[in-house]
């Protein structure tokens, strides 16, 4: 899936992704991010799972800046 980092709490190590492919914001933890530093507004690709607390992103890959205006 594709989405955008909506919020990230640096001190807590988690945040939320918004995606037109999902009805609600999607939780992610820093442990689920592959590679780059997380910044609010970054576009990401990710896999999605649902658990007892809601939607969770994993295998989150930050897209390089050349994609920011494309997605």
Residue 51 lies in a domain: yes
**Could you list the residue range(s) of the whole structural domain that residue 26 is in?**
2-65
C-alpha distances out from residue 43 to 48, 51, 53, 67, Å:
15, 23, 24, 7
Residue 42 lies in a domain: yes
Residue 31 lies in a domain: yes
**CB neighbour list of residue 38: distance below 8 Å, 6 or more residues apart:** 5, 8, 15, 30, 62
Per the structure, how many domains does the chain have? 1
d(CA 27, CA 17): 6
Residue 70 lies in a domain: no
Residue 34 lies in a domain: yes
Q: What is the pLDDT of residue 64?
A: 60
Q: What CATH number does the domain containing 27 carry?
A: 2.40.50.140
Residue 71 lies in a domain: no
pLDDT tens figures, 12-63: 999 999 999 988 999 999 999 998 789 999 999 999 999 999 999 999 999 8
Q: With cut-offs at 50, 70 and 90, classify the pLDDT of residue 65.
A: low
Q: What is the pLDDT of residue 70?
A: 46
Q: With cut-offs at 50, 70 and 90, classify the pLDDT of residue 71.
A: very low
Q: What's the pTM? A: 0.85
């Amino acid at each position: 899936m594709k989405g955008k980092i909506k919020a990230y709490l640096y001190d807590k190590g988690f945040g939320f992704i918004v995606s037109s492919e999902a009805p609600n914001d999607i939780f992610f933890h820093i442990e689920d991010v592959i590679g780059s530093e997380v910044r609010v507004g970054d576009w990401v690709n990710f896999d999605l799972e649902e658990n007892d607390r809601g939607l969770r992103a994993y295998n989150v890959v930050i897209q390089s800046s050349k994609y920011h205006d494309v997605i």
